[in-house]
Amino acid sequence: MIPFHSVLPEIAQREVRCIHIETAPGAPPAAGLPGGEYAFVEFYCEDLNCDCRRVFIQVIGRSRPDQVLASMNYGWEPESFYRERMHDPDAPGEIVRASLDPINSQSKHSEELLELFQQTVLDESYRLRLRRHYEQFREKLRHRQNPSAAKDSRAAGETRTASSDPESGDPRIPKAHRQRFGEVAALLQQFGEKHLDAELTGFVMELWKRICRRKAPDCLRGKPTVWAASVTHVIARMNFLFDRSQPVHLTLDTICDSFQTNKTTVGGKATQIERTLRLRQHCEPGLCRLDLLETFTNIRLSNGMVLSWKMAKQMGYVPADAKIEDLE
Ligand SMILES: [Zn+2]
């Protein structure tokens, strides 16, 4: 775990959560937390092969920046995500509620700070912010690793291939997957020009990129046409393109006939893609029309009420610092 501010100092300066505790003038000194400013400093895992989706937080008081007042762990994903990855049966519940870290520094104020975190700091906008910070942190680390990757491919004489086909130049796609990426991307492009609009074609491409970026060699198995049809099917389902009232609509027959594939195979593979990439139906940033994203993304307000993002925005409930980009 390394501090978020050591990787993205400007964002950290703007966006690390601080709270101010006021003590009434003349009040007798209470046993609890003294008045002042407290910062919730974020740390994330620097292992890009480990997608643990958690934050380690240290609480520091402004008056004593050298002293850690509490160390806690928090995970923003649903409990089921952690249940699949953690052996201790109590751990998933603890991490989604936020809990004190059993190994790292604590103080006599730890319990109180944890309570404050759970009740005051941790609202939906903060949850989304942490999720975005984790993505930004990993993106930055990936970029730091890129210059050497670019050097490698130049040394191997691959620059020409990359520049003649800019799509496969995505440095996040492993080299061994790039040829396969290009084959299927060409099929998707053709289909998109005939049956989709530019935005939907972009979603289809983005999904195929995400599949090829995975380390596992899944994308190399099976026929390119089956991949193309299945990727299109996922995007169609996610954007309600099978609904005839949509301005752009499709049938599964159109997809399967175009790619000359079997419907059952394509249906099964589409479901497998959704599971492997843990796609949220109708609200997956980068793969959904914005209107669907806003309608199907539910947020929980600090008062416990659950609303769609769209409605919360219309009613003025979405906090000023919560942006739809926070979902990415
Ligand atoms: Zn990790």
Q: Are 90 and 284 in contact (CB under 8 A)?
A: no
Ligand 1 centroid vs 310 CA: distance in angstroms? 33
Query: Residue 114 falls within a domain, yes or no?
Result: yes
CA distance 12 to 8: 6
Q: Domain of residue 71: give its range.
A: 2-134
Ligand 1 centroid vs 56 CA: distance in angstroms? 11
Q: What is the CATH number of the domain that holds 174?
A: 1.10.472
Query: Residue 198 falls within a domain, yes or no?
Result: yes
Domain identity same for 48 and 67: yes
Domain identity same for 220 and 96: no
Ligand 1 centroid vs 1 CA: distance in angstroms? 8
Ligand 1 centroid vs 224 CA: distance in angstroms? 33
What b/e string do you get for 126-144 counting C-beta neighbours within 10 Å, with b at 16 or more?
Answer: bbbbbbbbbebbbeebeee
CA distance 165 to 156: 17
Ligand 1 centroid vs 39 CA: distance in angstroms? 23
Query: Residue 159 falls within a domain, yes or no?
Result: no
Query: Residue 140 falls within a domain, yes or no?
Result: no
Ligand 1 centroid vs 76 CA: distance in angstroms? 14
Domain identity same for 75 and 86: yes
Q: What is the pLDDT of residue 151?
A: 42
Whether the pTM exceeds 0.85: the reply is no
Q: Which two tokens mark 80?
A: 């089921």
Give the pLDDT mean for 281-292. Answer: 78
Ligand 1 centroid vs 203 CA: distance in angstroms? 28
Say yes or no to pLDDT of 328 above 60: no
Domain identity same for 202 and 269: yes
Domain identity same for 120 and 206: no
Give the pLDDT mean for 150-163. Answer: 38
Ligand 1 centroid vs 81 CA: distance in angstroms? 13
Ligand 1 centroid vs 51 CA: distance in angstroms? 5
Ligand 1 centroid vs 197 CA: distance in angstroms? 38
Q: When comparing pLDDT for 309 and 106, which is higher?
A: 106
Query: Residue 145 falls within a domain, yes or no?
Result: no
Domain identity same for 245 and 303: no
Mean pLDDT highest for which of 7-11, 129-133, 245-249?
Answer: 129-133
Domain identity same for 7 and 114: yes
Number of domains in the chain: 3
Domain identity same for 124 and 82: yes
Question: Which residues does 227 contact at the CB level (< 8 Å), separation at least 6?
Answer: 184, 208, 211, 219, 269
Domain identity same for 199 and 276: yes
Which of these three, 134, 161, 179, is where a domain ends? 134
List pLDDT tens digits, range 27-81: 655 567 888 888 899 999 998 888 899 999 999 988 787 889 999 999 999 999 9
Q: What is the pLDDT of residue 84?
A: 86
Ligand 1 centroid vs 212 CA: distance in angstroms? 22
Confidence of residue 152 (pLDDT cuts 50, 70, 90): very low
Domain identity same for 98 and 185: no
Domain identity same for 35 and 112: yes
Q: Are 113 and 106 in contact (CB under 8 A)?
A: no
List pLDDT tens digits, range 177-227: 999 999 999 999 999 999 998 889 999 999 999 999 999 999 999 999 999
Query: Residue 312 falls within a domain, yes or no?
Result: yes
Domain identity same for 177 and 123: no
Query: Residue 147 falls within a domain, yes or no?
Result: no
Query: Residue 125 falls within a domain, yes or no?
Result: yes
